[in-house]
Structure 1
Amino acid sequence: MTRRDFLLSATAMTLQPALDRRVPASHGSFGIAYTSFVIRMLRGRDVLRAGTAAGLPAEALVELAHSFGCSGCQIDLSQLASTEPAELKGLRGVLERYRLFVELSVPARSLEDPEAFDRAAAVAHALGAQRLRVALLSGRRYEDFHRMEDWRSFVERWRRALPRAASWLEKEGLQAGIENHKDYLAAELAGMLRRVGSRHLGACIDFGNNLALLEDPLATVEALAPHAVTTHLKDMSVRPCEGGFELSEVPLGRGILPLERMIDTVRKARPDVHFCLEMITRDPLRVPYLEDG
């Protein structure tokens, strides 16, 4: 099955009934995230750890999204070869011609560094993007932190930074969704967002990531749905391995996630949120939860 067939058949058959009950057919809800194309971008290397998605230019992703029949796309800042106004105007023109929504994925420093934020905000406005996606941790909690004190320092760093970032977002009329990126437990992320208390700072709900933290996926969505800004839609499968289990994205409807209930939960809380497919093609991730340290 080609990726086009996947989007036009599996997605529609598995998920559209849930959406039809929530929103009019004229409201496009399904997009595709740039991270669905890691092989094209970096020949199979981990795009987030490598720090760039430039191997798949934004223009190419927009054309792919249109050809697949998507309603929009979530692009990464690094996919833009140029942030000159004329170049961004041209890309926006293509998005508008195809009637695609666009969301912008930006690096975590955009929520810490005012200059980095200003650059990201300028690009978002030029493209017509109102929603940003951010991962505070590029790696994984169980791989990057071997001492609790290091994790607590990371949490404290962002506890201090995010209220200021929320004020920047409010000033620019933008929303940012922090992804549950195998770092925060859902309750931890939801609690942090409640403490900030800004409608401009919420969550990018990844449907499968917190399986790696041994969370019930539906419970993850239920905790984060009130804060949803955007999503990474996926289905997941697991298999036992030495020391834990392996975790991998699979075609929608073929995994273990209760997708219809998850989508209904998000839609009930935030009817305007887009569902951005993140179908990562890579080797399964090993989650060594039975091992010490």
Structure 2
Amino acid sequence: MNQPDKSLAGSRLDRRSFLQKASLGAMALSFPTMPEFLKDKPMGIVVHSYGSRWNSKTPSSNYPAFTNAIDLIEHCHQIGAGGAQVVVGNWTADFARKVRERREKLGLYLEGSIGVPKNAGDVSRFEQDVLNAKEAGATILRTVCSSGRRYESYHSAEAFQTLKKNALASLQLAEPVLKKHKVRLAVENHKDWRAPELAAMLKQLNSEWIGVTLDFGNSISLLEDPMDVVQTLVPYVFSTHVKDMGLEEYPDGFLLSEVPLGQGMLDLPKIVALCKQHNPAVTFNLEMITRDPLEIPCLKPEYWATFENLPGTELAKTLRLVRQHKFPTPLPRVSQLSPEGRLAAEEQNILACLAYSKNQLALK
């Protein structure tokens, strides 16, 4: 594993201070002066917030489809967002330059969403994606290391251990590329890692170029208290997925939904303040996914297949959390809406979240 520069390695900075300074130094490459990049910027939008509109097949004059990153950037500017986090894959160098030109003209930031190399033969693909993202102006790349939700995709302790082994290998392959091009990779807690597992992997990697995309609500699905997750992962935070969560009981466990900011059970002002405290250059990206509630079947035996030593007290704490913070109405559902209705609900939710972020979180 590549070691940090000697000047940094020789200092007595702890991990938290080291990451903060590394983050600030990297961000300084992209912004003209220190005071400018430390100013609050409006919240950005994660492409997954537009799950219905991205490459939509619904003909709509009110909500035309977004077919590429430039479409998304244009719309983010129109609604007052500060930037976008969008998938970077199979871009040409020419398209990356066009993204940069439009982004710079509109004054928005960009983050990429990228796949880590699966093996040594995939490193060249990864490096090309990194180069295209950097050309477009991204210095932070969000990634995930799993193929899906832990309790749906992995059905034994052995399967999950294989995932952990492969994830570590992929990040070790990615790290020299990131260091070479001075781009940071932020691993999301994506309903896969419990927070201590992700933190342990980052400690093992020990790289200033690999940190966290801190999702505010995902880990409830893994029976974790959201504030415990924040406290564990915030020392590594490069980027965020901002969301608020609604909870509701169902026979096999509980239902989990993204809801408009301020309507759910998360202490968003406290979480945002902690992120800023640990990394003043952190970006805040809205991931408001408008969909039916997710079922978290934590009372079914198969849910527990990958949790070898998780005590039952974690289940009890989570079910108590669900009951204490039960959403005041049935959780929102959209499957009954027409395609145009789903597009409308999606946009309404995003606009409501942007308004909350400016009025209540001072992200403006």
Which category of TM-score, normalised to the shorter sequence, fits these structures? 0.7 to 0.9
> Unmatched 5+ residue regions in structure 2?
1-35, 58-64, 303-364
Compute the TM-score of the two structures, normalised by the length of structure 1.
0.83
Residue 63, structure 1, aligned to residue 71, structure 2: no
2:217 to 208, 211, 225: 208
- Mapping of residues 113-124 of structure 1, within 5 Å: 113-124=122-133
1:55 deviates by: 5.8
Match of 1:125 among 129, 134, 144: 134
Q: 1:179 to 1:111 in 2, by over 3 A?
A: farther
Q: Paired residue for 2:15? A: none
1:238-277 alignment runs, 5 A limit: 238-277=247-286
The C-alpha deviation readout for 1:68-113, integer Å capped at 9, x for no partner, is 11111101125xxx73333221221110011101000012337862
Alpha-carbon distance change, 148 to 161 in structure 1, aligned in 2, over 3 angstroms: same
Paired amino acid for 1:155:
K
Does 2:199 align with 1:186? no
Change (3 A) 1:204 1:111: farther
Task: Give me the whole-angstrom Cα distance separating, in 2, the residues matched to 1:257 and 1:33.
Answer: 19
Question: Does the alignment pair 1:177 with 2:186?
Answer: yes
Secondary structure of 1:102 counterpart: strand
2:48 pairs, out of 25, 35, 44, with: 35
Partners of 2:119 and 2:143 lie apart in 1 by 8
Q: Per-residue CA shift, 1:34-88, capped at 9, x if unaligned?
A: 00000112659xxxxxxxxx9642111001110111111101125xxx7333322
For structure 1, the residue ranges without an aligned partner over 5 or more in a row are 1-22, 45-53
**1:43-192 counterparts in 2 under 5 A?**
56-78=67-89, 83-109=91-117, 113-192=122-201
Q: Measured at CA, do residues 151 and 36 of structure 1 come closer, stay the same or move farther in structure 2, by a change above 3 Å?
A: same
Whole-Å separation in 1 of the counterparts to 2:42 and 2:230: 17
Provide the rounded CA distance (Å) in 1 between the counterparts of 2:119 and 2:177.
Answer: 9
The amino acid that maps onto 1:101 is: Y
- Over the aligned positions, Cα root-mean-square deviation in angstroms equals 2.0
2:291 matched to 1:278? no
Contact 2:98/2:136, CA 8 A, preserved across alignment: no
Whether the 8 Å CA contact 2:96–2:133 is kept in 1: the answer is: no
Give secondary structure in 2 for the equivalent of 1:41: coil
Which structure 1 residue ranges, 4+ long, deviate > 6 Å from structure 2?
Answer: none
Counting matched residue pairs gives 259
Deviation per CA, 1:259-278: give whole Å up to 9, x if none: 11111111111110100000
Alignment partners' CA distance in 2, 1:130 and 1:25? 16
Offset from partner CA, 1:115-166 (integer Å, 9 cap, x none): 1211111111210110000011131001111110110111111223323322
**Structure whose CA Rg is larger:** 2
Amino acid at match of 1:119: Q
The 2-side partners of 1:131 and 1:88 are apart by: 15
Q: Is the 8 A contact 2:117 2:173 kept in 1?
A: no
For residues 214-254 of structure 1, give each alpha carbon's deviation from its aligned partner in whole angstroms, at most 9, with x where no partner exists: 10111111111111111100000010011011100000010
Assess, with a 3 A threshold, how the Cα gap between structure 1 residues 158 and 25 changes in structure 2: closer, same or farther. Answer: closer
Give the fraction of aligned pairs with identical amino acids, expressed as a percent. Answer: 36
Contact 1:170 1:200 in 2 (8 A): yes
**1:279: how far off?**
0.4
After alignment, is 58-67 or 161-170 more displaced? 161-170
Q: Superposed, which structure 2 residues align to 1:215-234 within 5 Å?
A: 215-234=224-243
Q: What amino acid maps onto 2:98 in structure 1?
A: G
Higher strand share: 1
